[in-house]
Amino acid sequence: NQVADSLSRLAMSGDYQIRREVLVDALQQLKMRPSLDVFANRRNRQCKRFYSLMPDSWSIGQDGLSKSWKGEIPLLHPPIPLIQRTINKIMEEKIKGVIIIPHWTSQLWWPDLQKLIVKMIVLGSCKQNLIIGGRMRKKQLHLPPGDLMIASFKVKKVNNSILRSQKNVDQQESQSIKLFKAGTHAGEDIDRDQVNSKSIETV
């Protein structure tokens, strides 16, 4: 199974990013201007303000999934195990924003996502639209298979029936813990990055 094999070797720390030129063009089509990158690090952030996994003086905080997104227009490019929790949080906070995820229509979270989408753009293959990170390259990890999509979303009315069962949430919570543990390596070179990293142009 191509998807299962890819997921088993996927970089859980999300050490990849959407190509800048692809994002800028898509945001223009969606007529959206995100104010906050929720799942990022200083290397792959797409907004000046971002949440990071590990302590980082450049970020506005850690663990963006645990913070409120109200009053923001978040840019959400969640690690695959956190997609359902991200959708749940969108519903809970009744917000609008932009989400970037694989275009996997057979996944359990797909019907929930469809109820939120205002406009969707299928960008093409993940390999063509994502840039693999250094840690992924070093560990020979793969990008997600299939196509990548970006969509604007807006919650008009909360429907609790679309929230997944507690069993699924518990499973995703367990995956997020693994994500955090896998991501601890990302913090090892933060101090060096603070000296060597250059500022990037942001949305």
**pLDDT tens per residue, range 75-124:** 999 988 899 999 999 999 999 999 999 999 999 999 999 999 999 999 99
What pLDDT does 37 receive?
96
* Sequence spans of domains, the chain: 2-196
Q: Check residues 68 and 14 and name the one with the higher pLDDT.
A: 68
Q: Give the pTM.
A: 0.73
The band of 198, judged by pLDDT with boundaries at 50, 70 and 90, is very low
Q: Which CATH number fits domain 2-196: 2.60.40, 1.10.101, 3.40.50, 1.10.1740?
A: 3.40.50
Contact 12, 53 (CB under 8 A): no
What pLDDT does 182 receive?
52
Cα separation, 14 vs 40, in Å, equals: 8
